[in-house]
């Protein structure tokens, strides 16, 4: 299949009609013409801070106008954007700034006040209000990037947790993000009169794509930082939302709300990733959004997104991951490296132009995940070996079998057990710890922390609350006198997992 023309990422601001709405903000909507101008102003403001092409600029904020413009403004200024989840705290921000080598951090005053000078590493800290002021002044506005710019240059580094170690930065090019936006706009059948409610964090690939895919279709986006699920319902009514994306734990909360006709009548599609939808949840969504299409999807940051299920098939195949999205080749590889037979479990391998460029400054972990595509691949080149076991049915639909790594997936977040363990071990109450997930109907997985130490759970939880975001807090702490160990002297995670599952 031939690929569309790929342009620098900031050209997404030129996809809509000049007078059509592009972004719905508290102060009113801004048009595509204004979007392009304001992206140029923010890009010019970034350049004025002495940054050079290829420098990293980090943003740590909620879904403000600046946050929404940053992916395209950084691209226009020839910088690499490093969005930081606004729920993260000092320790995680310290790591991301140091690892990325960011030269600039833009954040609100309250967030900046939680950091020490050493946490910034080489980054200059600037309050978000200064960026907002630049958008409303009569300053210079950079024009769109040259069509001849190398679209394989990096545009963003998105930090995602691994099964071991601290978060690692996934390197995404202009081409990766451009094709990802066009792919989603295509299979979701987005149109210029669509309105997407952006409720997911813009630091996630799924969340950022709410913006990019909508703008690729010339549609508009209403960003929302919600406090309660009721806020989502009200926003759907207020903006006439047609597209709503969420993760399973949020869907569980949303179906319990009282949905009004004006919040439902405009809805055309619901999209889900970050965990599987259950048949029961699908039925509840159908009961509320009778005319909306439901898209179940699977993805990983290293290749953006891999599969989606045709909404026409979800009732008969509620547990399926579907088939490859446009511009992706999805392979099921048997243990011997050959193509797995129908219904034979194998590793999901993603090849094609959506594959990221590896992990930032981490050749060792890059080599473990980014490897040559199997011989039977049509795309060839480098592929992402997901570590997830799937099977492909005789009808061509994919089904998830299991995850090979130790990642904990809770509330749509992929969490490294080691991050939780490092935080726990830093507490005076803990000498040794091990974190893992336990199946949970509401969260997907609940975090269970095994610990050996003083047994002072109050002190431990106070420490964890101060150092980890809410979604990383353990649901249960189990105190042990001694940890089971394997032949190598390491903690026997298998034995502990069996205890969790019992």
pLDDT tens digits for range 21-79: 999 999 899 999 999 999 999 999 999 999 999 999 999 999 999 999 999 999 999 99
Beta-bridged to residue 486, according to DSSP, are none
**Cα 309 to Cα 178, 196, 362, 390, distances in angstroms:** 22, 20, 33, 15
Question: Given this model, what pLDDT does residue 422 score?
Answer: 82
Q: Which residue has the tokens 């031939």?
A: 2
Contact between 313 and 320 under an 8 Å Cβ cutoff? The reply is yes
pLDDT tens digits for range 250-269: 898 899 999 999 999 999 99
The pTM of the full predicted model, rounded to 2 decimals, is 0.88
pLDDT tens digits for range 289-315: 999 999 999 988 999 999 999 999 998
Instruction: Give CA–CA dist 168/6, Å, rounded.
Output: 27
Q: Around Cβ 136, how many Cβ atoms within 10 Å?
A: 10
Query: What domains lie within the chain, and their CATH numbers?
Result: 408-501 (3.30.300.30)
**Cα 74 to Cα 45, 319, 359, 384, 457, distances in angstroms:** 10, 39, 20, 26, 44
Which residue, among 33, 42, 102, has the nearest Cα to 68 in the 3D structure?
42
Q: Taking 60 as the threshold, does the pLDDT of residue 489 lie above it? A: no
Q: How far apart are the first and last CA of the chain?
A: 49
Q: Which residue has the tokens 């409303």?
A: 136
Instruction: Give CA–CA dist 245/260, Å, rounded.
Output: 18
Which residue, among 74, 83, 304, has the nearest Cα to 184 in the 3D structure?
304
Instruction: Give CA–CA dist 433/453, Å, rounded.
Output: 9
Distance of CA 84 to the CA centre of its chain: 11
For residue 404, report the phi and psi dihedrals to the nearest 5 degrees: -80, -25
Question: Given this model, what pLDDT does residue 487 score?
Answer: 47
Instruction: Give CA–CA dist 174/154, Å, rounded.
Output: 6
pLDDT tens digits for range 175-223: 999 999 999 999 999 999 999 999 999 998 999 999 999 999 999 999 9
Instruction: Give CA–CA dist 381/371, Å, rounded.
Output: 8
Mean pLDDT of the chain: 93
DSSP E strands in 108-151: the ranges are 124-127
Mean pLDDT of 96-108: 97
Which residue, among 314, 256, 243, has the nearest Cα to 288 in the 3D structure?
256
pLDDT tens digits for range 216-261: 999 999 999 999 999 999 999 999 999 999 988 789 889 999 999 9
pLDDT tens digits for range 2-20: 678 999 999 999 999 999 9
Q: Spell out a b/e string for 298-315, using b for 16 or more CB atoms within 10 Å of the CB, else e.
A: bbbbbbbbbbbbebeebe
Question: Given this model, what pLDDT does residue 161 score?
Answer: 67
Instruction: Give CA–CA dist 96/251, Å, rounded.
Output: 30
Q: Which residue has the tokens 């479990």?
A: 345
Give every strand in the sheet of 444-453, ordered side by side: 430-440, 444-453, 476-479
Burial of 442 (0-12, 13-18, 19+ CB in 10 A): exposed
């Amino acid at each position: 299949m031939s690929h569309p023309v790929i342009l620098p990422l900031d050209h997404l601001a030129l996809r809509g009609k000049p007078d059509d709405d592009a972004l719905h903000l508290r102060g009113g909507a801004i048009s595509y013409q204004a979007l392009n101008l304001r992206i140029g102003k923010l890009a010019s403001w970034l350049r004025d801070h002495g940054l050079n092409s290829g420098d990293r600029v980090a943003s740590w904020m909620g879904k403000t106008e600046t946050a929404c413009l940053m992916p395209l403004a950084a691209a226009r200024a020839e910088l690499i954007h490093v969005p930081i989840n606004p729920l993260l705290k000092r320790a995680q921000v310290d790591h991301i700034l140091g690892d990325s080598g960011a030269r600039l951090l833009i954040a609100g005053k309250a967030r900046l006040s939680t950091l020490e000078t050493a946490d910034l590493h080489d980054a200059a800290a600037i309050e978000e209000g200064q960026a907002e002021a630049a958008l409303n002044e009569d300053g210079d506005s950079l024009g769109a990037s040259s069509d001849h710019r190398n679209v394989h240059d990096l545009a963003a580094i998105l930090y995602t947790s691994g099964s071991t170690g601290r978060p690692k930065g996934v390197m995404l090019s202009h081409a990766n993000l451009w094709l990802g936006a066009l792919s989603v706009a295509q299979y979701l059948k987005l149109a210029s009169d669509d309105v997407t409610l952006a409720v997911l964090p813009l630091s996630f690939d799924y969340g950022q794509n709410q913006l990019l895919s909508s703008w690729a279709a010339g549609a508009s986006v209403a960003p929302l930082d919600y406090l309660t699920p009721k806020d989502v319902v009200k926003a759907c009514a207020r903006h006439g939302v047609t597209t709503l994306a969420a993760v399973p734990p949020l869907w569980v909360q949303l179906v319990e709300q009282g949905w009004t006709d004006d919040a439902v009548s405009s809805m055309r599609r619901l999209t889900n990733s970050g965990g599987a939808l259950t048949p029961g949840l699908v039925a509840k969504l159908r009961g509320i959004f009778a005319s909306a299409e439901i898209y179940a999807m699977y993805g990983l940051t290293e290749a953006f997104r891999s599969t989606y299920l045709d909404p026409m098939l979800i009732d008969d195949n509620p547990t399926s991951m579907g088939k490859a999205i446009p511009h992706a080749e999805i392979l099921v590889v048997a243990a011997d490296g050959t193509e797995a037979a129908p219904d034979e479990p194998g590793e999901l391998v993603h090849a094609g132009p959506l594959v990221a460029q590896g992990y930032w400054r981490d050749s060792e972990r890059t080599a473990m995940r980014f490897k040559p595509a199997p011989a039977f691949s049509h795309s060839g080149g480098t592929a992402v070996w997901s570590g997830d076991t799937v099977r492909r049915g005789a009808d061509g639909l994919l089904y998830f079998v299991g995850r090979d790594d130790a990642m904990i997936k809770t509330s749509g977040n992929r969490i490294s057990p080691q991050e939780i363990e490092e935080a726990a071990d830093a507490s005076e109450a803990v000498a040794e710890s091990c974190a893992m997930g336990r199946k949970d109907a509401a969260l997907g997985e609940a975090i269970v922390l095994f610990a050996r130490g003083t047994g002072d759970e109050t002190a431990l939880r106070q420490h964890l609350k101060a150092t980890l975001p809410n979604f990383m807090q353990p649901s249960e702490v189990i105190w042990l006198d001694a940890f089971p160990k394997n032949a190598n002297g390491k903690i026997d995670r298998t034995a502990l997992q069996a205890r969790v599952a019992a």
